[in-house]
Amino acid sequence: MIYKHFPVYLTTLMLAMISCAGPSSDQPPVKEQETILDTLRQEGEDHLRNIRQLTFGGENAEAYFSSDNSRLVFQRTDPSDGVPCDQIYTMDLRDPEPMQNRKLISTGKGRTTCAYFLPGDSTIIYASTHLSSDSCLPVPDRKKIKKYVWPIYDSYELFVADLNGNIVRQLTDNDYYDAEATVSPANDLVVFTSMQTGDLELYTMKTDGSDIRQVTDELGYDGGAFFSPDGQKLVFRASRPSTEEEIREYKELLARGLVAPTNMEVYTCNIDGSGMTKVTDLGKANWAPFFHPSGEKILFSSNHGSTRGFPFNLYLINVDGSGLKKVTNDKTFDAFPMFSPDGKYLVFASNRNNKGTRDTNLFIAEWVD
């Protein structure tokens, strides 16, 4: 979201401091096969079993399940494959070769981010800049800025497309950032991040784009929100600049269409913004949170245990901030976790098994509580 992938190959300076009828929900989201040697699982990753790699090459991230567990929607960059910046794709997990038979959903123009299946699984919501430019919008020169920053493109608008890539509805139309949309399991609301007040806040709206309501109002970046399994709460990442220097820097970067995501914590609140709770207080970057199927725990990515900005690994924590547990043990980057709607599987993005390249790929694993 924002293309919220922390590229772990950056220098230490930069890192010091993004309805189709389907099977019933009990059908496995991968082709049936015998248990294989779990060569992709690191030592100590006891919550994961039978990890399988879904993509090979490029930067693949933010993969989210359809409600029937059968498909993933994800974003992909791969200049060697003619994809110079993020575009939105789907893959069918019932297909023996899901990546080879992936389908482009976005227009192929501009930049895109943060796609999610809408109720019925026949349409997808995503953010795109294609109305303002056919080409990829430029990324900030982080060497000049001397900080790791994300761009906040004010040309991002929210669109709904069918599974053939036809845009069937435009949900936003303005001159400020609208992106990072995800959908409630209750099928009634969308949560997204917008700059309409001049700060990066969370909003909800109905799935048809009506009844927009502001959720957060504190200074700082609020984004990457997901609903709880019952649809009554939100979990998200947030920065909360507090000192004069932090506030000045945040506002100066925001005025340039930038945000530095190197200091974020995980928060929860009710869908109307009440009951705001800071779940983590770990320092550094804690982000990409997602509710455990029980609704009582949160899975998220963090580099809080690092000394040089990475690795990022997945952690599990109780909603009250207790019981922190490390889930993955990679040496570079694990993030963007999502549980399948039936709670049996976890999909995530990782730099594991990339043979020393910069590739980020998608992996699916059986989840073991």
Tens of pLDDT, residue by residue over 196-211, are 999 999 999 999 999 9
Does this model's pTM top 0.85? My answer is yes
CA end-to-end span of the chain: 28
CA-nearest of 22, 136, 128 to 72 is 22
- Say what the pLDDT of residue 29 is: 59
pLDDT over 50 at 102, yes or no: yes
**Whole-number average pLDDT of the chain:** 91
- Say what the pLDDT of residue 262 is: 93
Other beta carbons less than 10 A from residue 111's beta carbon: 28
At residue 37 the predicted structure's pLDDT band, cuts being 50, 70 and 90, is low
The predicted model gives 342-348 an average pLDDT of 97
Task: State how far the Cα of 73 lies from the Cα of 88, in Å rounded to an integer.
Answer: 7
Q: Assess contact for 29 and 93: CB atoms under 8 A.
A: yes
Q: Assess contact for 225 and 242: CB atoms under 8 A.
A: no
- Say what the pLDDT of residue 204 is: 98
Domain boundaries, the chain: 12-18+37-367
CA 314 to chain centre: 13
CA-nearest of 25, 37, 65, 46 to 368 is 46
The DSSP bridge partners found for residue 64 are 73
Helix, strand, coil percentages for the chain (3-state, nearest 5): 5, 40, 55
Q: What is the pLDDT of residues 207-256, one digit of tens each?
A: 999 999 999 999 999 999 999 999 999 999 999 999 999 999 999 999 99
The predicted model gives 107-131 an average pLDDT of 98
Angle (CA) 344-346-347 rounded to 5° is 140
- Say what the pLDDT of residue 13 is: 29
Burial class (CB in 10 A: 0-12, 13-18, 19+), 81: exposed
The predicted model gives 347-355 an average pLDDT of 96
Task: State how far the Cα of 13 lies from the Cα of 274, in Å rounded to an integer.
Answer: 38
- Say what the pLDDT of residue 76 is: 98
- Say what the pLDDT of residue 165 is: 98
pLDDT over 70 at 310, yes or no: yes
Q: Assess contact for 311 and 331: CB atoms under 8 A.
A: yes
- Say what the pLDDT of residue 230 is: 97
pLDDT over 60 at 143, yes or no: yes
Q: Assess contact for 176 and 289: CB atoms under 8 A.
A: no
**pLDDT: which is higher, 252 or 20:** 252
pLDDT over 50 at 264, yes or no: yes
Answer CATH for 12-18+37-367 from 3.40.190.10, 3.10.300.10, 3.40.50.150, 2.120.10.30: 2.120.10.30
CA-nearest of 250, 296, 229, 236 to 147 is 250
pLDDT over 70 at 282, yes or no: yes
pLDDT over 60 at 3, yes or no: no
Among the residue ranges 47-56, 137-146, 292-301, the one predicted with the least confidence is 137-146
